[in-house]
Amino acid sequence: MRKCALVTGASRGLGKAIALNLSKDLGLHILINFASNEAAALETKNLIEVQGGSAELMPFKVEEGAQVEKIIEEWLTNNKDSKIEVLVNNAGITRDNLMVFMEESQFDDVVNVSLKGMYNVTRHLLKHMVRNRYGRIINMASLSGLKGVPGQVNYSAAKGGMIAATKSLAQEIAKRNITVNAIAPGFITSDMTQDLDEEMLKKLVPMNRFGKAEEVADLVSFIASSKASYITGEVININGGIHG
C-alpha cells in the first residue's frame, strides 16, 4: 500500500519546502496541489524526484468546493492501492489593508482560500482517513492568527478560525487515531514576506532573524511522523521567541 501526503499550495514557498521534506524524511508519495502555477509545481515535483522520491500534480482551487470534491474523489477511485495519510493545509493568500479601507472582496478572498479551503479539502479526505483509522492533519496557521497584526484583519480572522477549527476537529476524531494540529510560523523568509522590511522586523524577534522555510518543514515532518502520535489539538509556534 502506497502512503501519500497531500500538500495544498505546494508549488512554492513553505508548501514546496514541506513537500520536499515529507518525501525525504517520511518516504511519502507527494500530491502537489496548486491553483495556477504549473511550472512552479513541476519544479517541486522534479526536486522531489531528484532526491529519490515520487510525486504527482493535483491541481485544484481549494476555495472551490465542487472542484475539490471531484478531483479528490477521482484520485481515490483511481488509486485504491494508495492511502493519503498526511494532509497539510498550507494554501493561503494575503490581501493586506487597514480595515477602514478593506474591500469586501479582500476579506472574502483571504478567508475563502485559507479557512474555507481547509474545510473543503479536509472534509473530503476525512472519510478516507476514518476508514483507514489513521491520519495526520496539519493546518498551517500563523502568528497573525494568535496575536493579530495591524493591516491583516482578514488574514488574522482566517488563521484564527483555522486554529479554533483545529482544536474542535482534533477532539472529534482522536479516537480514530487521527491527529489534528496547527503550526503557527512567525516571520519566515518566503515569497509571502518578500515585500516586508526584514531589517526592521527582525528587531521584533528575540533571535534577531527571520526563520527559514526548511525549519518550518522540519517541524511539519515531525508532527506528521509516528513520533508525534500523542500530540493533537495543539498550536505549535515557530517564531524565534515572539510571545504575546
DSSP 176: G
List the catalytic residue out of 119, 134, 155, 230. 155
Residue 208, domain member (yes or no): yes
Measured CA to CA in angstroms, residue 194 lies from 11, 13, 199, 220 at distances of: 17, 11, 12, 22
Q: Residues in the chain with pLDDT < 50?
A: none
Residue 243, domain member (yes or no): no
Residue 51, domain member (yes or no): yes
Which CATH number fits the domain that encloses residue 145? 3.40.50.720
pLDDT at position 189: 86
pLDDT at position 195: 63
Residue 242, domain member (yes or no): no
pLDDT at position 90: 98
Please write the tens of the pLDDT for every residue from 223-244. 999 999 999 999 999 988 887 5
Domain of residue 135: give its range.
Answer: 2-236
Residue 113, domain member (yes or no): yes
DSSP 95: -
Is there a contact between 224 and 138 (Cβ–Cβ < 8 Å)?
yes
Residue 241, domain member (yes or no): no
Please write the tens of the pLDDT for every residue from 70-114. 999 999 999 999 999 999 999 999 999 999 999 999 999 999 999
pLDDT at position 201: 76
In one letter, which amino acid is 143?
A: L
Q: How far apart are CA 19 and CA 49, in angstroms?
A: 11
Count of Cβ atoms closer than 10 Å to residue 1 Cβ: 9
H helices within the chain, ranges in order?
13-26, 38-50, 65-78, 104-111, 117-132, 143-147, 153-173, 198-201, 213-224
Count of domains in the chain? 1
Residue 32, domain member (yes or no): yes
Residue 244, domain member (yes or no): no
Query: Is residue 134 among the annotated active site residues?
Result: no
Considering the entire predicted model, what is its pTM?
0.95
